[in-house]
Amino acid sequence: MFGHDTFYFSTTRKMVVYFGTLFNNIHISRTDDSNNVTHLFRVPMQYGPKDKEIARVLADPEIQREAAITLPRLSFELDSIMYDPNRKLSSLNRIVRKNDNDANKLKRMYNKIPYNFNFSLYCYAKHVEDGTKIIEQIIPFFTPEFTSTVNLVPEMDITLDLPVVLTQVSLQDSYEGGFDERRMIVWTLNFMIKGFMFAPIVDKPIIKISNTQFFIGNTVTTNTQVMSVSVKPGLDANGNATTNSSITIPYANIEIDDTYGFIETWSDSTDANTST
């Protein structure tokens, strides 16, 4: 598309994994009348919309299952992805990295593009206290944001701190019908990850020689070239920077992260006429 080969950095998937990892290790306990812990279990979590999870919980009421396995539980889903103009960076800037496969080329991509990833986290509980035990283990860490580091584009060594912002918390008691109907309390927490999208990586040749020509003249169309200078990197066989063209290794073998010098070659060209 747009003249580029197929590319994919799994950015959206990484956002989903990042968000889900924040809440996949929540535990709650139940106690008896003497305040002794009788059950300690991890709250199960999976990706899925709220309506589907509610349907699964209410389905097959005759199946005998422990309440701790069904409720409480967590689920989450990605609601939307929206461009964030407030975090826009210059479109002309580029991210450049060394190309390990070719010393004469660089890996380059345009600046990251800011997008907000909106998620909903759902907490399902049969008992009010089970729900509050889970919610109180989440909310205090968001003031209103929690930031962690994510390796977004390993090929370009792009690792960024991504804030996760808690935007809203709401409660729904889905009790309907007669006294024999199942009751479910649903907490909904809305979050926004301030993430980024990335353009494709392009290999570009490195400019290792600069040629400059100097002209004089008194007309617009015809000038006289009087001097020229050529500049290229210099590095001796021991890896030391040099300005001596007689001891430098070939410039094609000098890599971008080498500590090289600059070799300048000046020449007079007073007899050369050039039109510009």
Out of 12-16, 68-72, 145-149, pick the least confident. 68-72
Task: Tell me how crowded residue 134 is: count the other CB atoms within 10 A of its CB.
Answer: 23
Domain span at residue 167 reads 11-202
Let me know whether 147 and 220 are in one domain. Answer: no
Q: Considering the domain boundaries, does residue 4 fall inside one? A: no
Within 118-187, residue ranges assigned H as helices are 128-135
CB 186 within 8 A of CB 195: no
Let me know whether 180 and 134 are in one domain. Answer: yes
What confidence category does residue 272 fall into, taking pLDDT thresholds of 50, 70 and 90?
very low
Let me know whether 101 and 237 are in one domain. Answer: no
Give the pLDDT mean for 3-11.
86
Let me know whether 123 and 197 are in one domain. Answer: yes
Q: Considering the domain boundaries, does residue 112 fall inside one? A: yes
CB 119 within 8 A of CB 77: yes
pLDDT at 57 over 50: yes
Exposure pattern of 100-109 as b/e (b: 16+ CB <10 Å)?
A: eeebeebbbb
pLDDT in tens, 227-253: 889 999 999 999 899 999 889 998 888
Mean pLDDT over the full length of the chain: 84
How many domains does the structure of the chain reveal? 2
CATH number of residue 105's parent domain: 3.30.2000.40
Let me know whether 97 and 222 are in one domain. Answer: no
Let me know whether 104 and 52 are in one domain. Answer: yes
Q: Considering the domain boundaries, does residue 25 fall inside one? A: yes
What pLDDT score does 30 carry? 81
Please tell me which residue, 102 or 9, carries the higher pLDDT value. 9
Give the pLDDT mean for 146-161.
94
Let me know whether 59 and 152 are in one domain. Answer: yes
- Identify which of 205, 83, 189 has the alpha carbon closest to the alpha carbon of residue 138: 189
Count of helices and strands (H, E) across the chain: 4, 14
Structure tokens at 256: 């971008």
Domain boundary among 175, 202, 229: 202
Domain boundary among 142, 176, 202: 202
Out of 50-54, 138-142, 159-163, pick the least confident. 50-54
- Identify which of 94, 82, 96, 117 has the alpha carbon closest to the alpha carbon of residue 11: 117
CB 121 within 8 A of CB 23: yes
Q: Considering the domain boundaries, does residue 1 fall inside one? A: no
CA separation for the pair 61, 59 (Å, rounded) = 6
pLDDT at 51 over 70: no
Domain boundary among 186, 202, 218: 202
Let me know whether 100 and 173 are in one domain. Answer: yes
